């Protein structure tokens, strides 16, 4: 899925999806080895949400970030992130990281 499609899906979920907040769990770091140059790191915000309907916990992963957001999350005391979930398919969701965009830089939109 290209970045335009992902952005469009995020906009649709923000408009029509179920809004909730997920508890921030951690930042997951993915290392991409490059034999010809320096390794690349991608960062993902991981959140947990308990569905009040079925009492199950769900783990959500954001799209990748190019810079590590952990210090900013700690400095701002962020403990929850907005999550928009498709009303009929919980596996279709969007974690809103707008609160990080002013300092983190562009979202890579890779999953």
pLDDT digits (tens, 9 = 90+) for 64-105: 999 999 999 999 999 999 999 999 999 999 999 988 876 544
What is the spatial distance between Cα 107 and Cα 17, in angstroms, rounded to a whole number?
Answer: 21
Residue recorded with tokens 């569905």:
51
pLDDT tens digits, one per residue of 2-26: 678 888 889 999 999 999 999 999 9
The pTM score is 0.84
Residue recorded with tokens 């957001």:
69
Residue 99: exposed, middle, or buried by beta-carbon count in 10 A (0-12, 13-18, 19+)?
middle
């Amino acid at each position: 899925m290209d970045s335009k499609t992902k952005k469009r899906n995020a906009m649709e979920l923000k408009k029509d999806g179920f809004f909730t907040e997920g508890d921030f769990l951690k930042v997951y770091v993915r290392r991409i080895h490059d034999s010809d140059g320096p390794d690349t790191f991608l960062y993902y915000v991981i959140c947990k949400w308990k569905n009040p309907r079925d009492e199950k916990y769900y783990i959500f992963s954001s799209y990748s970030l190019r810079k590590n957001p952990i210090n900013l999350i700690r400095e701002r005391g962020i403990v929850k992130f907005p999550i928009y979930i498709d009303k009929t398919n919980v596996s279709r969701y969007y974690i809103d990281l707008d609160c990080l965009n002013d300092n983190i830089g562009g979202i890579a939109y890779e999953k």
